[in-house]
Structure 1
Amino acid sequence: MLFLNTRPADRAIPLTEFLQAQDIEVLDLPLLELAPMPWSDHLAHLYAALPSAHVVVAVSPSAVQYGMQGLAQAGLSLEHLSHLTWIAVGEATAKALLQYGIHSQVPEVETSEGMLNLPVLQQLPESSSVAFWRGEGGRQFMMDSLQAKGVKLLNFILYQRQCPEQAPKIIEKNISRLQLQQRYCMLVSSEASWLNWRKLMAEHIDLLNRAHFLVLGERLCQLLAQDRLRHHFTFSISQLPDLRKESILEHIALVQGNS
């Protein structure tokens, strides 16, 4: 069974190599790429307020990379932030922070809901301030939930998401290969990547319906289920608890066993 690895190009290789070693046929098809936001007075103001925050939530390794670049541009050192609690959305983000000597808390489930369940966020007083290092459009649910509790937010939009230029070219090159598949597996790890795939498949609804989507987290899984119902799609969905290579392999094996 063909597996479409939709992780960004710089994060796709370990998963692709792992699955290929297990004799899984893989097509690398990144559906998201990141570009840094230009420096602005608004970002400068946010960095100036950062030492007064209580918690920093880093949503990706890229958020760590661009966030640290912003710290340097703002003339801040990590010593100014030594009192802060750091939260990483997953192990990859935690490793990125650790490269700067920062130990972070990581939720058991790598989703907004998982992070909201961390005790440090559950126990925040109303007057607390939480900084989000994130990309454009990311983690809105988590931010809205905290704001509803009276928590002050410092919203660092550090990068923007876009569909890679090579994505339609990869599809065009492999369209015959895809059409030969009675069924294929595909990773969906964000709403943005799902929306990009929907656009790319607008003229190939039959191919869209042949997919078994491995979807990260309950909220994203519900989004796909709602789209399926609304548009009368017939694709299948499985919910992933995390993005570990072993979890993805286990779910591919389940799909293969049911085919």
Structure 2
Amino acid sequence: MLFFNTRPLERAEALTLALSDLNIQAINLPLLELKARPLTPLLKQLYQQLVVDIAVLVVVSPTAVDVGMKYLRECHIEIDQLAHIQWIAVGEKTAEALQKYQIKSEIPKVETSEGMLQLPILSTLEKGKKIAFWRGEGGRQFMMNHLHQQGMQILNFILYDRQLPLQSIDEFQKITLKLTQESRYIMLISSEASWLNWLSLIQANPMLLNIGYFWVLGDRLFNILDNYKIQHALHFKVMILPNLKTELILQRVTYMQGKL
């Protein structure tokens, strides 16, 4: 059984090593690569608004923390000037990255847009308040649209681009033959962009989807894959994960080993 670890390489190592200890062949195949955008005049204008009247700042990844803080310094804004802001981190890794700057943040139980929307900070926020997003191109559209419909003002900081890594394209070409000889594989899918990138990789052999067990983060992503399966008359399996912690994934792998 193959296990595709699609997390960014810097966050994939612990899980890959732990799977190897269980004699599971884990292949690192990042499906997203994040590259910082330049600090444009428009972004500089947005940064100045942080000092004034932003109620909540949503940070969607450790990369968003790194790039966001770098540009904060380049705009000559001190963290103390943002004491009025309530911070939300999409998950524990992002919260840990913020903590390095002595910033405490709220974390959802499920590390998704839906999970963040259930946080009391957002569910009780007064209509008309301004919410800033540190994010990548194409990310968190659902969450921003939902909050906008609730009457919130959205400030959109697009700090980086998200793309399929070139090295993953090369890696996939190397393992394609092996994959066609497998009876099943497991793959982590943590975002819609990752799913679309996987579809792009296997477009020459879409039936490879049928031997896949896709472990996805949250209900919305589950629905996206499930609808795709129905629309294309496919038979792959989809399972929801509440988080991407190594301990949880190892438990699920161990369970599957006993069932398959």
The TM-score with structure 2 as length reference comes to 0.97
CA distance in 2, matches of 1:168, 1:147: 37
The corresponding residue for 1:222 is: 223
1:235 positional shift: 1.0
Partner amino acid for 1:36?
Answer: A
Q: Deviations over 1:169-197 (max 9, x none)?
A: 11111122212210111110111110000
Contact 1:55–1:131 (CA under 8 A) maintained in structure 2: yes
Q: Give CA-to-partner distance per residue, 1:133-164, whole Å, 9 cap, x none.
A: 11111111111111111111111010010100
Match of 1:24 in 2: 24
User: How far does residue 251 in structure 1 lie from its aligned partner after superposition?
Assistant: 2.2
- 2:124 is aligned to 123
Structure 2 partner of 1:39 = 39
Counterpart secondary structure, 1:54: strand
1:214–1:251 Cα contact (<8 Å) kept: no
* DSSP 3-state at the match of 1:143: helix
Alignment of 1:41-120 (within 5 A): 41-51=41-51, 52-120=53-121
Per the alignment, residue 135 of structure 2 pairs with 134
Rounded Cα–Cα distance in structure 1 between residues aligned with 2:18 and 2:140: 29
Distance 1:172 1:206 in 2: 16
5+ residue gaps, structure 2, are: none
User: What's the counterpart of residue 255 of structure 1?
Assistant: 256
Matches within 5 A, 1:176-195: 176-195=177-196
SS of the residue aligned with 1:153?
Answer: strand
Tell me the SS of whatever aligns to 1:159. strand
Structure 2 equivalent of residue 167 of structure 1: 168
Consecutive unaligned residues of structure 1, counting only runs of 5 or more, are none
* Distance in 2 between residues matched to 1:107 and 1:133, nearest whole Å: 17
Alignment deviations for residues 83-117 of structure 1 (CA, whole Å, 9 cap, x no partner): 21111000000000001111111011111111011
Tell me the distance in 2 between the aligned counterparts of 1:33 and 1:127: 34
Q: Aligned Cα RMSD in Å?
A: 1.1
User: Deviation string for 1:205-232 (max 9, x for gaps)?
Assistant: 2322111001111000100001111111
1:56: how far off? 0.7
Task: Determine the C-alpha separation between the residues in 2 that align with 1:193 and 1:123.
Answer: 32
1:241 Cα deviation (Å)?
A: 0.8
> Take 1:21 and 1:50, find their aligned partners in 2: how far apart are those partners?
46
In the alignment, structure 1 residue 201 sits paired with structure 2 residue 192: no
Q: Secondary structure of the residue that 1:226 maps to in structure 2?
A: helix
Deviates more, 1:174-183 or 1:114-123: 174-183
Counterpart code for 1:7:
R
Q: Counterpart of 1:211?
A: 212
Counting only pairs closer than 5 Å after superposition, residues 143-154 of structure 1 correspond to structure 2 as 143-154=144-155
- Amino-acid identity (%): 47
Aligned equivalents of 1:42 and 1:14: distance in 2?
38
4+ residue runs over 3 A deviation: none
Measure, in 1, the Cα distance between the counterparts of 2:204 and 2:255.
29
